[in-house]
């Protein structure tokens, strides 16, 4: 469904800056990482912020790799089974860059669940849906070249020079920015179904219309009402609201900038990693432990100092790429 475009990066990579010099998946394989070790490394990031280690039961009861003896749903998810400390993830982890990022994302759910487990039952949730999805992605934004050096995955001599930043940012934008219209349109389609604006006889047409309107794409082959592309997106048949992911794409950059500011980072925002900064972890935990006990602007203010969600941090993060794209696209027709 083209929700993220990173897999075509090699097709559009800018000449000269496109090859950043490493692939995280290749680095993991070269260092002998297996799925469990990848999860251990994800845990280590949170531990570096001062969060306690995951419980022993996490390693006994999580599904980290796909079972060989039965079919399972491989869609990654995080679970707090007893609302105390029975934390688990369910993944079919493979040794690649995408799953390395996904691990950091899913563990964000687990650490959030643990942080608010002392709250009354009704408050055991994220401040809003977007918060829960944003926490792990905030951490994943810290998977920078310097972080990879610190954990022994990347040699210092191979850290991309600043002239490679456009390549790094474009690769990131093809996932983070390209997702935004998709993140908005999934629930636009669902709400259209609920309201009757999209009739039962037009589920596919309604989906295709929104995809063109928001993403600027069309199906690669002809579709009709015998097809149901929306049903191929896990969150539709599973009845999982999707706007949370749109909000999370905005919030994660806002959280990330706040963490980088707290850590005293002075360079370009996209090069910041707050790994091993316990002061950031303390402030982050203060927000997480609130759960849903206060209105979400209160929780946001605890960590960022602001009561409003803002896309300014996202714009700052990608500012060098935006300037480069403005030059590349000058005089060319834009839109569809």
Which residue in 43, 104, 105, 106 is the catalytic one?
A: 106
Q: For residue 331, what is the DSSP state? A: T
Residue 122 burial class via C-beta count within 10 angstroms: exposed 0-12, middle 13-18, buried 19 and up: exposed
The C-alpha atoms of residue 222 and residue 293 are separated, in whole angstroms, by 49
For 111, the token pair is: 């650490």
Q: For residue 160, what is the DSSP state? A: P
Q: Residue 88's beta-bridge partner residues?
A: 79
| Maximum separation of any 2 CA atoms in the chain, in Å | 59
Q: How far is residue 335 from each of residues 63, 314, 327, 332, measured CA to CA in Å?
A: 43, 21, 16, 10
The yes-or-no answer on residue 235 being catalytic is: yes
The C-alpha atoms of residue 21 and residue 225 are separated, in whole angstroms, by 45
The C-alpha atoms of residue 155 and residue 206 are separated, in whole angstroms, by 49
For 229, the token pair is: 């592309």
For 272, the token pair is: 């910041």
Residue (of 62, 114, 71) closest to 90 by Cα position: 62
The C-alpha atoms of residue 127 and residue 248 are separated, in whole angstroms, by 12
Kind and range of the H or E element at 66?
A: none
The C-alpha atoms of residue 109 and residue 77 are separated, in whole angstroms, by 9
Q: Is 79 helix (H, G, I), strand (E, B) or coil?
A: strand
Residues labelled as active-site residues:
106, 235
């Amino acid at each position: 469904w083209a929700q993220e475009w990173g897999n075509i990066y090699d097709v559009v990579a800018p000449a000269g800056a496109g090859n950043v010099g490493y692939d995280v998946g290749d680095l993991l394989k070269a260092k002998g990482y297996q799925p469990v070790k990848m999860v251990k490394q994800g845990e280590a990031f949170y531990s570096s912020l001062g969060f306690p280690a995951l419980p022993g039961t996490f390693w006994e009861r999580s599904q980290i790799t796909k079972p060989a003896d039965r079919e399972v749903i491989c869609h990654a998810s995080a679970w707090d089974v007893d609302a105390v400390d029975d934390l688990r993830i369910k993944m079919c982890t493979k040794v690649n860059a995408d799953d390395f990022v996904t691990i950091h994302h899913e563990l964000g759910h687990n650490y959030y669940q643990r942080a608010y487990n002392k709250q009354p039952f009704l408050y055991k949730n994220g401040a809003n849906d977007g918060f829960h999805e944003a926490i792990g992605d905030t951490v994943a934004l810290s998977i920078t070249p310097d972080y990879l050096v610190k954990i022994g995955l990347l040699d210092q001599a191979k850290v991309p020079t600043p002239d490679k930043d456009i390549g790094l940012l474009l690769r990131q934008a093809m996932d983070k920015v390209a997702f935004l219209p998709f993140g908005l349109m999934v629930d636009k389609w669902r709400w259209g179904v609920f309201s009757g604006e999209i009739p039962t006889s037009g589920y596919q047409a309604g989906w295709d219309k929104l995809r063109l309107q928001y993403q600027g794409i069309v199906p690669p082959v002809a579709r009709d009402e015998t097809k149901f592309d929306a049903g191929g997106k896990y969150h539709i048949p599973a009845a999982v609201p999707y706007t949370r992911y749109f909000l999370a794409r905005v919030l994660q950059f806002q959280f990330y900038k706040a963490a980088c500011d707290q850590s005293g980072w002075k360079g370009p925002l996209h090069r910041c990693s707050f790994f091993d900064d316990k002061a950031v972890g303390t402030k982050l935990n203060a927000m997480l432990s609130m759960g849903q006990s206060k209105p979400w602007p209160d929780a946001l203010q605890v960590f960022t100092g602001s009561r409003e969600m803002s896309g300014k941090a996202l714009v700052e993060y990608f500012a060098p790429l935006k300037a480069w794209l403005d030059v590349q696209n000058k005089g060319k027709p834009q839109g569809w």
